Amino acid sequence: MSPRLMNDLDIAYKLHSEIVTFWQFYVAGISAIVGWVFSRSTAWSLNKRLGISVTTLVFMVFSISGLYRSSSALHDIVALMRSDTYAIPEGISSSVFYSVVNRLNVGDWYLNIGAHVVVDVIILYFIIVVAGQKPKA
């Protein structure tokens, strides 16, 4: 008995799920860092801020890398499934198929990465600048 092959929709859903997982993991990690910065009782030393910044930057780069690969692949698959020459799988109406394909569309990679980079810069600012200041009582 041969293993069941994944069809295009299965692959697209798997990639979409990966993107959601990347964002969930990123939000959890960044929320912990922001909580740590704003719950500190003293100003952090420059060495501590630099160490945490570098570690956070490594986390951000890995997150962006995975998000880029998954969102680029999903974008390409969605574009392929939207093409006029794509054969809609048997047993699915064209209106349902295109509704699903539209739902899977997360936009081009730069839409995901752009938001990520904006938040990354803000977080690094919190770590480097805000955490170096004495907390307000």
CATH code, domain with 77: 1.10.132
Portion of the chain with pLDDT greater than 70, in percent: 95
Domain count across the chain: 1
pLDDT in tens, 82-107: 998 998 888 889 999 999 999 998 88
Q: Is residue 13 part of a domain?
A: yes
Mean pLDDT over 22-44 rounds to 95
Residue 119 included in any domain: yes
Q: Is 28 buried (19+), middle (13-18) or exposed (0-12) by CB count in 10 A?
A: exposed
Q: Could you list the residue range(s) of the whole structural domain that residue 77 is in? A: 8-132
**Mean pLDDT value across residues 12-18:** 93
Is residue 3 domain-resident? no
Predicted structure pTM score: 0.81
The pLDDT tens digits of the residues spanning 38-97 come to: 999 999 999 999 999 999 999 999 999 999 999 999 999 999 999 989 988 888 899 999
Contacts of 105 (CB under 8 A, 6+ apart): 75, 78
Flag whether 20 is in a domain: yes
Taking each helix axis from N to C end, the angle separating 94-104 and 46-82, rounded to the nearest 10 degrees, works out to 160
**Is the predicted pLDDT of residue 120 greater than 80, yes or no?**
yes
Task: Decide if 2 is inside a domain.
Answer: no
In contact, 59 and 78? CB cutoff 8 Å: no
pLDDT at position 1 over 50? no
